Amino acid sequence: MYTVGITGASGMPYAYRLLKYLAGRRIPVELVISDPAWDVIRQELPAEAQEIEDREKWVRRHFGSTTRLWANTNWSSPIASGSAPSAGMVIIPCSMGTLGRIAAGISSSLLERGADVCLKEGRRLVLVTRETPLNLIHLENMARLVKAGATVLPAAPAFYHNPQSISDLVDFIVGRVLYQLGIENDLVKSWGSK
């Protein structure tokens, strides 16, 4: 089981593609989405993905029964406890506000608590940051989290694989995230492979 957190930063195509990939392989996911993220989902995803009449129904329709949505205020979720089994967490996209609160050890939401649990339990925590330019506070918070055991993976796609579409660029980042979570995939080719 993996935990996926989505914050209100730009970059919803990355989150959507990751969740689709995990659902397609029937990998269980505990999902938490911040309130600002729902607004960004409506702005950035294709029209068919913007129709959010009921959040739980929307998650089931797009990601199936292996993805379970939790309210960001639900502290009884397994995401909040180190005693619940988890192979790790990715926050995709990760806003600088969320990153800063995690770096400071502040758990004011389920999403932030889930990240804190990963750090305290020595589990994988991947933060897909999506901000530019970065200021010194952002960089110091990132360094602090890396020292604590997290992986900071900026949403900065490469071009050596000759992408032909935006989907190729999205897949590059999602493939890198999957590798960091220990999930083999064919979304991104290894350097030097054809």
**Contact 171/178 with Cβ under 8 angstroms?**
no
**β partners of residue 90:** 4, 126
Domains of the chain: 2-180 (3.40.50.1950)
Average pLDDT value for residue range 48-66: 87
CA torsion angle for 68, 82, 116, 131 (degrees, to 10)? Answer: -30
Task: Read off the pLDDT of residues 172-183 as tens digits, 9 standing for 90 and up.
Answer: 999 999 999 999
DSSP 8-state class, residue 4: E
At residue 53, the pLDDT reads: 80
Task: Read off the pLDDT of residues 149-170 as tens digits, 9 standing for 90 and up.
Answer: 999 999 999 898 889 999 999 9
At residue 90, the pLDDT reads: 98
Average pLDDT value for residue range 49-54: 78
Read off the pTM.
0.95
Task: Read off the pLDDT of residues 117-145 as tens digits, 9 standing for 90 and up.
Answer: 999 999 999 999 999 999 999 999 999 99
Distance (Å, whole) CA 170 – CA 82: 31
Nearest Cα neighbor of 150 from 77, 74, 110, 90 is 90
Asked if the model's pLDDT at residue 48 lies above 90, the reply is no
Asked if the model's pLDDT at residue 188 lies above 90, the reply is no
Q: Give the rounded percent of residues in the chain with a pLDDT score beyond 70.
A: 96
At residue 7, the pLDDT reads: 98
Kindly indicate the confidence band of residue 192, based on its pLDDT and cuts at 50, 70 and 90.
Answer: low
